[in-house]
Copies of this chain bind each other. A is one copy, B any other.
């Protein structure tokens, strides 16, 4: 059995993928992969996800240049979640221009944005 077949793909053929920056251990993104994108990611060592909104393969950084260079791929005990350890090119993982996507923190019953925008998205996606 291929290592790809050991992954428990959900009813849509997807698995959630946590992407963690190797140097800082910060969690950058949670995204989704299908079998083809995980195969491509392993083969190329550049993170390629499945875009659920666009229903197509999505090589992270294809527009922005902010690619994620994969250092390791891990799977959990139940085989239904993956971690990519990566080097984040450009230091920006989030489409809002922030270092990572988890910039809202629950404070006194409200989500507060607590991370700075490092680059204007208009400058990133031009």
**Copies assembled:** 2
A18 vs B95: C-alpha distance when bound (angstroms) = 20
Residues 15 to 70 of chain A near chain B (Cβ within 8 Å): 16, 18, 20, 24-27, 29-30, 42
Q: For residue A105, which residues in chain B have a CB less than 8 angstroms away from its CB?
A: 72-74
Which residue in chain B gives the minimum CB-CB distance to A32?
A: B16
Q: Please, which residues of chain B bring their CB within 8 A of the CB of A118?
A: none
List of B residues within 8 angstroms of A78 by Cβ: 101
With A72-B106, A77-B101, A111-B75 given, is the CB distance from A16 to B30 under 8 Å?
yes
- B-binding residues in A (CB < 8 A): 2-3, 6, 16, 18, 20, 24-27, 29-30, 42, 72-81, 83, 94-96, 98, 101-106, 109-111
9 nearest A-B pairs in the assembled complex, by CB-CB distance: A25-B25, A30-B81, A76-B101, A73-B106, A74-B102, A75-B104, A77-B101, A76-B102, A83-B102
